[in-house]
Structure 1
Amino acid sequence: MRAIYDYIIYTDGGCECNPGGRGGYGAVIINNNTGEFTDISGGFRSTTNNRMEVMAVIKALEKIKKDTHVQLFSDSQYVIKTMNGMFRKKKNIDLWKKLDKLAVAFEIEWNWVKGHNGNTYNERCDTLCQEAMTLPELEEDEGYMNTDSVSEQSDTVTQSLEKYNMYPDCSDVESYQEKYLVNPICAKLICQFYKQNRKKFRDYVGLRTDGTDFWSRKKKNAIMDIKEYSTDIWDIIVDHFAETKYQMMCIRWCARGLALGDAIKKVQVDMEVAEKCLANKKRDM
């Protein structure tokens, strides 16, 4: 008896320092008709989180037979909501065109899966993705370098964003505390954080302010003025977070010294933890 779905696919993508850092994708392909499991992955020298999420789906679909029924899972709302018609395709047009062309050859059910929530295949994809970023030889994401999503930015803007993704000097905790106006425990945790070669989910969870600090009640414009940020950093934050409270959490972590990519990841991790706690509370009621 033939399976309802010919293939079940899990995908994941990420960027070490978003945007512009090393990135990777990973996918697990399950052939329901043969029982075969296939892992695929790849790494790129300079890219973005969202491009790697889309790339993972493209690479997975390129590996399977056309005219088949596919159940696909991704932890990227960006991918799932776009393919289900809820988001417009404004950026990464080169990849969306490729995915649209591929997708018409299949019957695909697009499903979102919560990341870092114990799903075996999602966790496997994350591992593949992280490992791909550390490969000695990484591919060039030519689409990132050449498409409108990047060419819209001038060279000056690109250079200004690169400085926001530079790691802070963590050689001395007291100096860090004084420079970034954070509490002693926060300074210590950030300095420890940047000594990690490969930052994991729990490393982001461990970062905390240890109470109110100089930045806790500062509004957006005040932070932008004090830190002399350009508007481009705010535009990137808004692209990642729709709600103002998460946007402010992110800009405040930047002010405390986190690289932009790490500040974005920190807020995303905090959001996941909060959602999990809320779900557990509802379950126990």
Structure 2
Amino acid sequence: MYTDGACSGNPGPGGWGTVLMYGEHVKEFSGGEANTTNNRMEMLAVIQGLTKLKEPCEVHIYTDSAYIYNCFQQKWYINWQKNGWKNSKKQPVENKDLWLEMLEQVEQHKVVWHKVKGHSGDKWNDRADALAVAAAQKYK
């Protein structure tokens, strides 16, 4: 699964794109919001992709979002939960609603996270980006 988010202004009109692949099958999904942030769109791309899976499975998620990748690789969410959803600066964790939803989805699968460099010529990351940008355009 390749995911990406886009936002024109931050906040501003935004979109998300997800490309799901299994064997020869490729499915694309996208959506957006009129007033949002890039991080929220990145997160929705992952959440929406995971909700499309019909049963628990091993899923490789490719994201160019350091926010998402680092959260799961460095397990930030564990301390957030322990600390009542406060970050290391004792401030409320931004996007708690989406983190809770994403954690619920992630727990249903065996997720392997991959960090990809955005806009670097990776075919499927570029496709997820194009879906996100096109979705954001609908809200301008």
Give the TM-score normalised by structure 1: 0.43
Superposed CA deviations along residues 27-68 of structure 1, whole A, max 9, x for unmatched, are: 110013xx2100100011100010110010000000112320
Q: Secondary structure at the match of 2:31?
A: strand
Q: Which residue of 2 aligns with 1:105?
A: 108
Q: Secondary structure at the match of 1:101?
A: helix
Indicate conservation of the 8 Å contact 1:78/1:87, yes or no: no
Indicate conservation of the 8 Å contact 1:11/1:27, yes or no: yes
Q: Secondary structure at the match of 1:46?
A: strand
- Describe how 1:220-231 pairs up with structure 2 within 5 A: none
Unaligned runs of 5+ in 1: 1-8, 139-196, 198-285
State which drifts further: 117-126 or 64-73: 64-73
**Cα distance in structure 1, aligned partners of 2:74 and 2:45:** 19
Q: Which residue of 1 aligns with 2:41?
A: 52
Q: How much does 1:86 deviate? A: 4.8
Superposed CA deviations along residues 208-242 of structure 1, whole A, max 9, x for unmatched, are: xxxxxxxxxxxxxxxxxxxxxxxxxxxxxxxxxxx
Q: Give aligned pairs, total.
A: 126
Indicate conservation of the 8 Å contact 1:30/1:36, yes or no: yes
- Describe how 1:180-199 pairs up with structure 2 within 5 A: none
Superposed CA deviations along residues 5-41 of structure 1, whole A, max 9, x for unmatched, are: xxxx00000210002x000000110013xx2100100
CA RMSD for the aligned pairs?
1.5
- Describe how 1:146-185 pairs up with structure 2 within 5 A: none
**Cα distance in structure 1, aligned partners of 2:111 and 2:67:** 16
Match of residue 31, structure 1, among 5, 22, 46: 22
Give the TM-score normalised by structure 2: 0.85
Greater helix percent: which structure? 1
List, as ranges, runs of 4+ consecutive aligned residues in structure 1 with deviation greater than 3 Å.
86-89
Q: Secondary structure at the match of 1:96?
A: helix
Q: Which residue of 1 aligns with 2:57?
A: 68
Q: Secondary structure at the match of 2:36?
A: coil
| Equivalent AA in structure 2 for residue 10 of structure 1 | Y
State which drifts further: 38-47 or 78-87: 78-87
Greater strand percent: which structure? 2
Q: Which residue of 2 aligns with 1:215?
A: none
| Percent identity between the two aligned chains | 37
The structure, 1 or 2, with the larger RCO (C-alpha pairs under 8 Å, 6+ apart) is 2
| Equivalent AA in structure 2 for residue 41 of structure 1 | S
| Equivalent AA in structure 2 for residue 18 of structure 1 | N
**Cα distance in structure 2, aligned partners of 1:14 and 1:67:** 28
**Cα distance in structure 2, aligned partners of 1:74 and 1:93:** 19
Unaligned runs of 5+ in 2: 81-92
